[in-house]
Amino acid sequence: MIYKDSEVHFNISSQIKRSITANIQFSTQDIDTAKLTFSLTKDGVPLPISQATHGKLFMRFADGSKFYVNTEVKDALGGVIFYVLTSDQVTHYGTVQAELYVNYDNGQKLSVHKFSFEIDRALVDQDIAPVAEYYVDDFESLKAVIQEMADDAEQVLAELQKKFENLDNIETKDGAQEKADAAEAGAKAYTDEHAAKTDNPHKVTKAQVGLSNVDNVKQASKADFDGHVADTANPHAVTKAQVGLSDVDNVKQASKAEFDTHNSDNTRHITADERTKWDGGQLRKLTDDSGKRTQVADGADLLTLSTGFYFAVGNTVQNNPTTNDSTQFTYDVIESDQGRKTIYAWRTTDNTLWHATVIPDTAFKGWKRVITDDDFRKKTFVDTYDFDNSAFTATEGVVTKIKFGAARADDQSEYDQTKSEITLKNSGLYLVRLYISATAIPSNSDIGFICYVNDAQYQTMGYWYPSKSTQTNVVFLQQKFNSGDKVTFHIFPKVTGSTPSSVSVKSAFLTMSQIR
């Protein structure tokens, strides 16, 4: 459907509110397209209307027509209701005075706000004059409208009586009063009888209830009045026509088919299943009004957050999984009935995930980081198994860097063959295996193997006392290293003066793997 939609925002409070002039203008040619949408808030959040029986809209048009109708729900959780003007209503051009109400199932009622809007008279409708009419959606409202019409008639009669207060003939004034009282009683009895008919439809006009002539009441001249009071043959009789009720007998009742059509209109009336669904809806806000995550206030404690979806910069909140972290995090908090809550924290820059559990009256046990398969793939593993390009000579009494050949495996591209150096990308515990095959080893040699970090001696791996001039040795090291460490390995030959005074290494290879 296509609508000429207009949205009005109302905040419900007890503060003084004056009627507002909404910046809304419809045309008498906006047939079934003139739509009023109301967004209702209270205390800064959408007004809950899932428990509301209905919204009510009262409209008083420029020609005196009055409509008291039910609105429809557009968004029960968002506090949005609407009403589409009927093809009859848009014909009543001019300024429309209106007021919105909300009725709840428990009997509570809210007056939301008074406002006004305009209906412009289209050029094609210039020669059409709408008939003043009334429309109500329930029997009690219908009765109130008819009573209001009767009150209008009483007011006219009271004004006529006041015109003759200065007449000298007190007895004649009393007689006129009795006639007016009788007319008033007759009018009220008749309208009450009509209002009691529960099978009556909703729509009546002034003409239908016999009040179309009230607007044309003329003031009698003194001569007319003197002639009337001198009529002793019929001193008290007042006809329906004299009080403007001559058309009451012509009130038209809607057919059963028309009533059934209205009653089965599920667009304007919700079903029992729909009401049950709305009443059972979740009322707790989990995001902000736009459906996005809510930002955590600076200095807030993550462990005290209620159920919802949040975000913040890590170093602006308390109890973040990391410290001094200026990147953005997102947080999902779920509470249980026992007061416990589960919190998930994501660092958005690298998608690292932590989780924690908060238990009432129990010390916080900290965050646990979730290890992924990607974490395992990013662990260090270097294998320099290359016998043909790793030969070198180590001089007696000199600490010499061990030369390794090309890498057979280097998962993180950490190995530099030209320097025989590994620059670690991860902090953790590592296992190192060093293989040395040497020839022309002096007898009684004392050979040490040393691990260097950042060009400084870090850890002695072991000692070798070869018994033959040609021999192979393997040493191991399990040690923690930090991200960014530059790791190299060295050999330190000590000899007893025998010749030769150096050690010839035929081949060397290294395996370095991150354990955790």
The model's pLDDT over 70-110, given as tens digits with 9 standing for 90+, comes to: 999 888 888 899 999 999 899 999 999 999 988 888 878 88
Name the one residue in this structure whose structure tokens are 């919700």.
270
- Domain 4-130 fold: Immunoglobulin-like (2.60.40)
Instruction: Give the pLDDT confidence score for residue 375 in this predicted structure.
Output: 79
Provide the residue ranges of all domains of the chain, joining segments of one domain with +. Answer: 4-130, 141-249, 294-370, 378-514
Q: Spell out the alpha helix ranges (H) of 164-299.
A: 170-195, 222-229, 256-263, 272-279
- Number of C-beta neighbours around residue 397 at 10 A: 11
Instruction: Give the pLDDT confidence score for residue 495 in this predicted structure.
Output: 76
Instruction: Give the pLDDT confidence score for residue 113 in this predicted structure.
Output: 87
CA separation for the pair 53, 76 (Å, rounded): 12
Q: Backbone dihedral region of 479: left (phi > 0), alpha (psi from -120 to 50 degrees) or beta?
A: beta
Beta bridge partners of 7: 37
pTM over 0.85: no
Residues 6+ apart with CB under 8 A from 510: 382, 383, 384, 402, 404, 432, 433, 434, 435, 489
Size (the chain), residues: 516
Beta bridge partners of 45: 42
Task: Please give the DSSP secondary-structure letter assigned to residue 318.
Answer: B
Residues 6+ apart with CB under 8 A from 150: 187, 188, 191
Name the one residue in this structure whose structure tokens are 């690292």.
352
User: Residue 255 corresponds to which tokens in the numbers above?
Assistant: 């057919």
Cβ 251 vs Cβ 209: under 8 Å: yes
Q: State the distance between the two ends of the chain, measured CA to CA, in whole angstroms.
A: 63
User: What parts of the chain have a pLDDT lower than 70?
Assistant: 53, 135-150, 152-153, 156, 160-161, 163-176, 190-191, 193-222, 225, 227-252, 496-500
CA separation for the pair 437, 501 (Å, rounded): 17
Residue 512 parent element (H or E): strand 502-514
Cβ 81 vs Cβ 9: under 8 Å: no
- Domain 378-514 fold: Jelly Rolls (2.60.120)
- Number of C-beta neighbours around residue 244 at 10 A: 24
Q: Backbone dihedral region of 208: left (phi > 0), alpha (psi from -120 to 50 degrees) or beta?
A: alpha
Amino acid at 272: A
User: Residue 457 corresponds to which tokens in the numbers above?
Assistant: 């001696």
Instruction: Give the pLDDT confidence score for residue 225 in this predicted structure.
Output: 65
Nearest CA among 90, 86, 123, 79 for reference residue 24: 90
Instruction: Give the pLDDT confidence score for residue 218 in this predicted structure.
Output: 58
What are the helix and strand counts (H, E) for the chain?
A: 6, 30
The count of C-alpha atoms lying within 13 angstroms of the C-alpha of 280, restricted to the half-sphere facing its C-beta, is 6
Give just the sign of the alpha carbon dihedral 38, 42, 45, 48. negative
Residues 6+ apart with CB under 8 A from 34: 3, 4, 26, 84, 85, 90, 119
- Number of C-beta neighbours around residue 87 at 10 A: 12
CA separation for the pair 153, 379 (Å, rounded): 94
∠292-75-330 over CA atoms, to 5°?
A: 10
Question: What proportions of the chain, in percent to the nearest 5, are helix, strand and coil?
Answer: 20, 35, 45
CA separation for the pair 303, 289 (Å, rounded): 23
Q: Report pLDDT digits (tens) over 345-385.
A: 999 999 999 999 999 989 999 999 998 888 777 899 999 99
Cβ 424 vs Cβ 451: under 8 Å: no
Amino acid at 511: T
* Edge-to-edge order in the sheet of strand 368-369: 294-295, 308-313, 328-335, 341-347, 352-358, 368-369
Dump the DSSP string for 295-311: EPPTT-BGGG--SEEEE
Amino acid at 263: N
Instruction: Give the pLDDT confidence score for residue 53 in this predicted structure.
Output: 66
